[in-house]
Amino acid sequence: MTATDPAHEAETMTVLVLDAEPSPRLGRLAGRARIEYADEATLASLLPAADVLLVWNFTSHAVRRAWPGEGPRPRWVHTASAGVDHLMCPELAASDTVVTNARGVFDQPIAEYVAALVLAMAKDLPRTWELQRARQWRHRESQRVAGTRACVVGSGPIGRAIEQTLKALGIKTALVGRTPRTGVHGPDELDRLMARADWVVSAAPLTDETHGMFDARRLGLMQPSARFINVGRGQLVDENALADALSKHWIAGAALDVFEHEPLTPESPLWELPGLIVSPHMSGDTIGWRDELGAQFVELYELWEAGEPLPNVVDKQRGYVPGPSTTQP
């Protein structure tokens, strides 16, 4: 982002926070910016007076509903999340507003979580815990992960961190992205790679092209001994097709950290599916993660205030931050 007009420099900027508990720590902006807070009910009325919108409540879809309204709109929107599907709407995509995300905060934590899931399933740790609680001594053999194959779908920073972490475990890992390039397979190779993988990891952004990409046909390509992990977005997966594949033992297991509808209701059949590990959208949330998100926003604000270019700028048509080699159509 380039330098703005003199009015930008002279005025005190208004930062509107779509809030969630606990609120972000923005003390470094005291005296430099006017901080106001909105919830889903008040966002639409407060948007016209805001210069910057911080979407701290990244589980909310309020921005998509409020943005098409009348009046001015913030010149910059930052979401404290990697994905932007919860806030993008045609009007925002067509506007001059700059959108940034929290790229870089969640990469390694999610990669570690995926590695933990791989090891837990390979070593049958959930069953060990069940047997312990039942006071049953039952010797079993477990799987060696070194030498197995993984297909990681999503070649952004999170996908690349997952690839590197799995490789450190000795897993032969193939990375699949939107466009083929050095070290990244294109979407045309996804079926072949899934068919030979022991681990299929979904870490792709949610776009029109990726919605429902893991359907009955794709899940049917997987080996009976293979396992599926989703840390991307719930809407990437046909949950009914996955439930069918697990119930019929067409695949050996799965782990879902994200779901089509969150939170998962107590009545959902997913809780009791054989071989499925359910976690509540927590793969990237390590101790101190909110402080890190708040500090990242403050650093970006200081760049924006100084008229410096912003990192993490989202391509609003594609729905993610393009990598160095994906900037061309």
Residue 273: half-sphere exposure toward Cβ, Cα within 13 Å: 26
Count the alpha carbons within 13 Å of 195 in the hemisphere toward its beta carbon: 7
Which amino acid is located at 219 in the chain?
L
Match 């972000």 to its residue by tokens.
24
Of 243, 242, 301, 303, which is closest to residue 272 (Cα–Cα)? 243
Query: Is 262 part of the annotated catalytic residue set?
Result: yes
The sign of the CA dihedral 317, 209, 212, 169 is negative
Which residue among 281, 290, 292, 318 is the active-site one? 281
281 is catalytic: yes
Among the residues of 143-266, which ranges form H helices?
157-168, 190-196, 216-221, 239-247
> Annotated catalytic residue: which of 9, 130, 209, 262?
262
233 counts as catalytic: yes
Q: Which of 73, 160, 185, 233 is catalytic?
A: 233
Question: DSSP alpha helices (H): ranges in the chain?
Answer: 6-10, 43-46, 62-66, 90-94, 107-122, 125-133, 157-168, 190-196, 216-221, 239-247, 289-305
DSSP secondary structure code for residue 242 in this structure? H
Q: Which residues lie closer than 8 Å to 269 by C-beta, 6 or more apart?
A: 243
Six-digit token string for 276: 């499925």
**Residues with catalytic roles:** 233, 262, 281
